[in-house]
With several copies, the nearest count.
Chain A
Amino acid sequence: MSQTDAAQKLAYALRFGDTALVLSHRLSEWCGKGPALEEDMALANTALDLLGQARHWLTYAGELEAQGRDEDALAYHRNDREFFNLLLVEQPNGNYADSMVRQFYFDAWHALALRRLLASNDAQMAAIAEKALKEVSYHLRRSSDLVVRLGDGSERSHAMMQAAADALWAYTGEMFMGDAVDADAAAQGYGFDPASLRAPWLDYVREVFDEATLTLPNPDAWMHQGGKQGRHGEALSYLLGEMQVLQRSYPGAQW
């Protein structure tokens, strides 16, 4: 593997790891503040699954990098310009409708993405994906179910879900935009072309929205991008500052 190849693959692993880590963080911000006890449990559970996945990805990224950085070094000692998560998952929680729609958009992509990674020629990536897919399939069932029930619920819940669906829409396009890292992943056979997930994702989201009586936003609307390349919104550096505060304040300490 050439040095460039290794760097591309590392970036690829970090994108999955950072995305899982950042979304886990956002979900954990809900702790004790959900709209029902069952939701508190489900949020913590999803956050925990994603955190576990992030740890696998970051540990593997550390191996690919081969500079001796472990999951914690990668999670706690990079700034937001070195994080490669999707913009969608860093969006602030907003109200619970916002958080649920964010989750639904993401889960629908995540399940598709992991399914493609099952065929990765990188055994470790395939193994991480296989374990994660079991969890994510459940996440997707849950978030799809909530979208349907709240979309086709009361007038108020419908309006809130539609507003959330519209507001977050512009952050979904990035999931399907490829760059050199994606091209390398697809060419080398350890990853896939993200554009190929767009049609099935749209089909699935459309189907769920139909059942939820929600209007699908315009698929050809302008979309944000940059997260996968480390260009984030203003919220991420606050999130990381909070997450990293102890590691940054007590350099070298063991916990």
Chain B
Amino acid sequence: EGQERVFQERIDAGVKIEPKDWMPEGYRKTLVRQISQHAHSEIVGQLPEGNWITRAPTLKRKAILLAKVQDEAGHGLYLYSAAETLGVSRDALIAQLHAGKAKYSSIFNYPTLTWADIGAIGWLVDGSAIINQIPLCRCSYGPYARAMVRVCKEESFHQRQGYDLLLALCNGTPEQKAMAQDALNRWWWPALMMFGPSDADSVNSAQSTQWGIKLFSNDALRQKMVDQTVPQAEYLGLTIPDPDLKWNEERGHYDFGAIDWDEFFNVIKGNGPCNRERLATRVQAYEDGEWFREGLNAHADKQAARGAAAA
């Protein structure tokens, strides 16, 4: 098709695709899926961190965490808006999430068991997210790329805050340091899984690459995460829970152990420690809020009617 060729040429030339431009249906669908998953992840991601806001150990740390969770709700908003430019409403996307038909990042199905987990999420989970997302700031779809620029700026701030939290624990009492190590033990592998299966096993990668939605391979991004994180862990004095981890002089990268993909696919299937709770919490919140949304709509209708009557 001519349209399709023009479309691909624009992408190849690095020109952004905008909402009103023609685009292949597959491109639209892939983007809607990816952006909405990302939006859902921000929303569901509020829950594991929100779990420690009321228990933050200092008022300053509490303020940082509250601000972070607020940022996440904001990211959710931009991303739903970006998805809406593709012709699907936020309500429809949320309905998919609540029906269990849409995914969100599996990492949020793990529980936050101690205060150190808040640090580990900032350091490792936001760390992986940033590595995943920085390339997306240059992706071919304009609204998504622009949303990502804003998101990445805030995420890197969150990552530093998470690291700082762990640094305080690692400089603290032996109990606090043990808490930090325990958090690293539990979050390390799930954070590596965030990049998705090895490219060999990853569907749709080629097409997404051609469309400028996927710019690096999952494995390449994962390697970057490992390389970046190992020295940070060393600085904290923490041990990464991987006996196979070691520097490979030849590759110029760290080698690391095999990932337990059974666990990954199991959690995606719904069998993570918190899948049921997370979804139930969101659905409950939505149902409890029905009267609220209905009330605001009723008021808006009344106002509109009054405006019409006055005109």
Contact = CB atoms under 8 A, between A and B. Distances in A.
Interface of A: 21, 25, 28-29, 31-41, 44-45, 47-48, 51-52, 54-55, 58, 71-72, 75-76, 79-81, 95-97, 148-150, 152-154, 156-158, 160, 167, 170, 222, 224, 226, 231-234, 237, 241-243, 245-247, 250, 252-255
B59 interface: yes
B74 interface: yes
Interface stretch (B30-38, B226-234, B293-301): B293-301
Chain B contact residues: helix, strand, loop or mixed: helix
Contacts of B209: none
Interface stretch (B111-119, B124-132, B154-162, B243-251): B111-119
Contacts of A76: 57-58
A32 B69 contact: yes
A253 B300 CA distance: 52
13 contacts: A31-B46, A32-B44, A32-B46, A34-B289, A41-B73, A55-B59, A96-B288, A149-B299, A152-B302, A154-B294, A232-B111, A234-B111, A255-B176
Contacts of A45: 70
Interface stretch (B167-175, B187-195, B197-205, B214-222): B167-175
B57 A246 contact: yes
Contact of A246 (B66, B69, B115, B300): B115
B164 to A, nearest CB: 11
B51 interface: yes
Given A35-B289, A250-B175, A255-B172, 9 more contacts: A44-B73, A45-B70, A51-B62, A149-B296, A153-B299, A157-B296, A170-B276, A222-B271, A234-B274
A58 B62 CA distance: 15
Contacts of B298: 153-154, 157
A37 B285 CA distance: 10
B55 A245 contact: yes
Interface string B277-308: 10001101110111111111111101000000
Interface size bracket, B side: 35 or more
B240 interface: no
A12 B55 CA distance: 26
A106 B175 CA distance: 33
Contacts of B182: 81
A13 to B, nearest CB: 15
Contacts of A48: 63, 66-67, 70
B207 interface: no
Contacts of B61: 255
The 10 closest A-B pairs by CB, nearest first: A35-B289, A157-B295, A153-B295, A31-B50, A32-B46, A44-B70, A154-B298, A35-B292, A246-B57, A255-B57
A54 B285 contact: no
B273 interface: yes
B47 interface: yes
Contacts of B59: 21, 51, 54-55, 58, 71-72, 75
Contacts of A39: 289, 292
Nearest to A152: B299
A225 to B, nearest CB: 9
